[in-house]
Amino acid sequence: MSSASRLPRLLTLVPYLQAHPGMSVGEVARTFGLSEKQLIDDLQLIWMCGLPGHTPGDLIDVSWDGDEILVSNADTIARPLRLGVDEASALLVALRMLAELPEIEDRDALARVIAKLERAAGDAASAVSSQVSVEVEASPDAMAVVRDALARERVLRLRYYVPGRDETTLRDVDPMRIVVADGRSYLEGWCRRAEAVRLFRLDRMHSVEALEEQASPPPEAEPVDVEAGLFRPSPEDTVVELEVGASGRWVAEYYPCEEVRELGEGRLHLTLRTRDTGWVRRLALRLGDAGKVVAPASLAGEVRDTALSALALYDAAPARP
């Protein structure tokens, strides 16, 4: 926390300590995201402040003997400051997003807490929070089955479609959790076929059923750190280089690129890593003259061959030299 935010922090800390008498230095420091030393420094500062006159009877009493923090004689600032527009809006936008998710059963609690926050925050915050919104696509049917399997710890059997390879495969998955990220819902689980943790988009499950078998992800099944991005390439992946024109720039927005270089006139040079180059071939066909594969050369050749045999279907293949 920056020093500029210290005053607001103190104005929250004092009422917090009064509402939670006897809490330990460690606990409070964790709650406020401070080191114990910073917290004690805050307590020492508070102890120097108080009502005009500043006689010992006017000052705030603070003690942290034996690790228990006690604050008294601070009635003037016993309530925290109102929620700022940013603060209330951040919570309200998030709550409204949750209200869209079919997986939140507690709709009633959501509606109540939204109303309470709007009341506490005032008009400005409720206006802002209705102008900022995060949409999440729902797949209610799949979600109900997945939620149920997670709750009952059952193995899930999916018919799962992978557009990059244009195939639907049958997979048995030990479910671990549901991840809602970038507007989509995923099942994270141990895929018995891949023998690895995988994310499965709920809207790509052509069917899903819970088996009677007890789910038991192996100990090596580590959840993905969603903060670091859902899809991270591994060093063994193939490096692919593409060049796209102005009308192919969207590729850089949709696919996680390792490097994006401007080539002038709106053109881009993209580098990405992938386990499976099939989807890049499909992408290159889709791009038409808006982009091309630069490397590896074998992939560029595959694209050309596919385009040629497809054109033959249309009787439009150029005459071979």
Partner 1 sequence: MSRRKTERLLNLVICLLHTRRPLTAVQIRQAVPGYPEGDEAFQRMFERDKGELRELGIPIEVGADPWDDEPGYRIPRQAYELPEITIEPDEAAVLGLAAQVWRRAGLAEAASGALLKLRAAGAETEEPSAGALEFRVDTRDPAFPALWEAVRDRRPVAFHYRTAGHEAARERVVEPWGVVSRRGKWYLAGHDRDRDEPRVFRLSRIEGQVRFAGRPGTVTVPEGVNVREMVVPYDRQPHDRVAVVRLREGACEGLRHRARDLRPDGPGWDRAELVYADTERFAGWVVAFGADAEVVEPPDAREAVIRRLKGALSS
152 binds partner 1 (CB under 8 A): no
120 binds partner 1 (CB under 8 A): yes
Minimum CB distance to partner 1 smaller for 177 or for 275: 177
316 binds partner 1 (CB under 8 A): yes
Tokens 């102005």 belong to 246
Minimum Å distance from CB 216 to partner 1?
16
170, β-bridge pairs: 159
265 binds partner 1 (CB under 8 A): yes
Q: Which stretch binds partner 1 (CB under 8 A): 11-19, 64-72, 190-198, 214-222?
A: 11-19
Minimum CB distance to partner 1 smaller for 46 or for 173: 46
**Residue 150 · residue 178 · CB < 8 Å:** yes
Rg of the Cα atoms in the chain: 28
**Residue 23 · residue 68 · CB < 8 Å:** yes
Minimum CB distance to partner 1 smaller for 7 or for 196: 7
**Residue 38 · residue 107 · CB < 8 Å:** no
What does the alpha-carbon distance between residue 43 and residue 61 come to, in Å, rounded to a whole number? 10
Minimum CB distance to partner 1 smaller for 235 or for 264: 264
What's the burial of 103, exposed, middle or buried (CB within 10 Å: 0-12/13-18/19+)? middle
141 binds partner 1 (CB under 8 A): no
CA dihedral 181, 187, 191, 193 (to 10 degrees): -100
25 binds partner 1 (CB under 8 A): no
The contact mask relative to partner 1 for 46-65 (x = CB under 8 A, - = no) is x-xxxxxxx-----------
What does the alpha-carbon distance between residue 230 and residue 187 come to, in Å, rounded to a whole number? 12
Distances (CA, A) of 50 to 9, 25, 97, 162: 16, 22, 42, 65
Minimum CB distance to partner 1 smaller for 2 or for 235: 2
Q: Which of 61, 102, 184, 237 binds partner 1 (CB under 8 A)?
A: 184
Minimum CB distance to partner 1 smaller for 66 or for 87: 87
What does the alpha-carbon distance between residue 126 and residue 114 come to, in Å, rounded to a whole number? 9
**Residue 60 · residue 47 · CB < 8 Å:** yes
Q: First vs last Cα of the chain: how many Å apart?
A: 69
Minimum CB distance to partner 1 smaller for 235 or for 254: 254
Minimum Å distance from CB 264 to partner 1?
9
Q: Which of residues 63-102 bind partner 1 (CB under 8 A)?
A: 76-77, 79-91, 93-95, 97-98
163 binds partner 1 (CB under 8 A): yes
Task: Give the tokens for residue 220.
Answer: 């090596």
**Neighbouring residues of 56: CB distance < 8 A, sequence distance ≥ 6:** none
Minimum Å distance from CB 78 to partner 1?
9
Q: Which of 144, 246, 298, 301 binds partner 1 (CB under 8 A)?
A: 246
The contact mask relative to partner 1 for 275-314 (x = CB under 8 A, - = no) is ------xxxxxxxxxxxx----------xx-xxxxxxxxx
Under DSSP, is residue 32 helix (H, G, I), strand (E, B) or coil? helix
126 binds partner 1 (CB under 8 A): no
260 binds partner 1 (CB under 8 A): no
